[in-house]
Amino acid sequence: MIVKETGLKDCFVIEPTFFKDNRGCFLLEYNKKEFQEKTGFTGDFVLGNQSTSQYGVVRGLHLQKGEFAQAKLVRVVKGKILDVAVDARKESETFGKVFSIELSGDNNKQLFVPRGFLHGFSVLEDGTIVSYKCDNYYYPESEDGVIYNDENLNIDWGLEKKEIILSDKDMKLQMFKNL
């Protein structure tokens, strides 16, 4: 496993061990001991989620607050996304900074998003399957978020405005300055 810094404190790109031969391929998706040694993350992933989306869908920017905050390890099983993390930890030296990376079923990269970060992604291929582990359970009452097109964050989602598909909930999210 190769771990690369993103420029955002505690947020990492993970390049898992991948083996390919004439039979197919094998991906070592997660090794807790190695992950802890290379990232310093000592939590346990307790929840696994998977979504399937069509081209143009933007999910996010979401987070859970307080004691229900979640760290996430995100990967794409099939297709391609632009994955986005925003440091929303007011005490952090990278507060308000944005990191984005293309994750795909072909490149096998993963993004570790620590607690206190906003997270979202745009779907760049039809039928994209995103899988992610969380280190805390989901509690709807602690959910919060920021609108995808917040002008201060200035995120390029890799889509034309007319292509973007949002949920009703995500259309009503607040601006980052109000978080």
Whether 119 is a known active-site residue: answer: no
Angle at 32 between CA 62 and CA 24, to 5 degrees: 90
pLDDT tens readout for residues 81-127:
999 999 999 999 999 999 999 999 999 999 999 999 999 999 999 99
Whether 132 is a known active-site residue: answer: yes
Range 9-31 average pLDDT = 93
Return the residue matching tokens 């040694």.
Answer: 37
pTM of whole model > 0.75?
yes
Residue tagged active-site, from 62, 119, 137, 139: 62
**Fold that domain 43-178 belongs to in CATH:** Jelly Rolls (2.60.120)
Residue tagged active-site, from 30, 55, 119, 132: 132
pLDDT over 90 (residue 18): no
Cα separation, 1 vs 20, whole angstroms: 15
